[in-house]
């Protein structure tokens, strides 16, 4: 019984501390990655890695895509991208040289498949996003 009470006290203390220390740094940034001025960080198409430029071009052509999951719905559960109805955002793999799987790099686009309203690049598997600009 004493062991249960100690565990309960430790858990309560942890939750209390977490509630009063404020949001984690990733949560504090809000939608997309933020620059010093508060605007979403951007990346120009020409600044994408070569594989990212190739994926972006395939998106605009409507495929074909090398991975089965390319074009699948991106849920945006963390709400790092602007909020839209489910099915608006789609994800595409950006090949990572040397990786035996899909790697961590993706482009996520919203809107019509060949002419998306907006696309974002992530190099860290959805932990942060940079808006792709022409």
19-70 pLDDT, tens digit each = 444 443 333 344 554 444 445 599 999 999 999 999 999 999 999 999 999 9
User: What pLDDT shows up at residue 123?
Assistant: 96
Mean pLDDT of 67-90: 95
The mean-pLDDT minimum among 2-16, 38-52, 64-78 falls in 2-16
pLDDT at 2 over 90: no
Strand order in the sheet with 89-93: 42-44, 130-133, 118-122, 106-110, 89-93, 72-73
State residue 7's pLDDT score: 43
Superfamily of domain 32-133: Microbial ribonucleases (3.10.450.30)
Contacts of 48 (CB under 8 A, 6+ apart): 56, 94, 121, 132
User: Closest Cα to residue 107, out of 118, 117, 94?
Assistant: 94
pLDDT at 124 exceeding the cut of 70: yes
Backbone torsions φ then ψ of 51, nearest 5 degrees: -65, -30
CA distance 125 to 21: 26
* Rounded Cα gap, residues 79 and 95, in angstroms: 24
How does residue 134 score in pLDDT terms, banded at 50, 70 and 90? confident
Give the catalytic positions in this structure. Answer: 91, 125
Q: Is the pTM of this model over 0.75?
A: no
């Amino acid at each position: 019984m004493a062991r249960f009470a100690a565990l309960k006290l430790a858990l309560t203390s942890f939750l209390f501390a977490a509630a009063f220390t404020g949001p984690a740094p990733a949560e504090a940034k809000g939608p997309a990655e933020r620059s010093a001025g508060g605007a979403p960080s951007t990346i120009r198409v020409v600044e994408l890695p070569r594989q990212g430029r190739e994926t972006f071009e395939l998106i605009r052509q409507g495929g074909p895509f090398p991975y089965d999951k390319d074009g699948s719905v991106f849920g945006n559960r963390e709400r790092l991208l602007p909020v839209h109805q489910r099915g608006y955002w789609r994800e595409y793999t950006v090949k990572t040289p040397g990786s035996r799987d899909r790697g961590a790099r993706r482009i996520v686009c919203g809107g019509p498949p060949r002419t998306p309203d907006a696309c974002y690049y992530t190099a860290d598997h959805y932990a942060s996003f940079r808006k792709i600009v022409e």
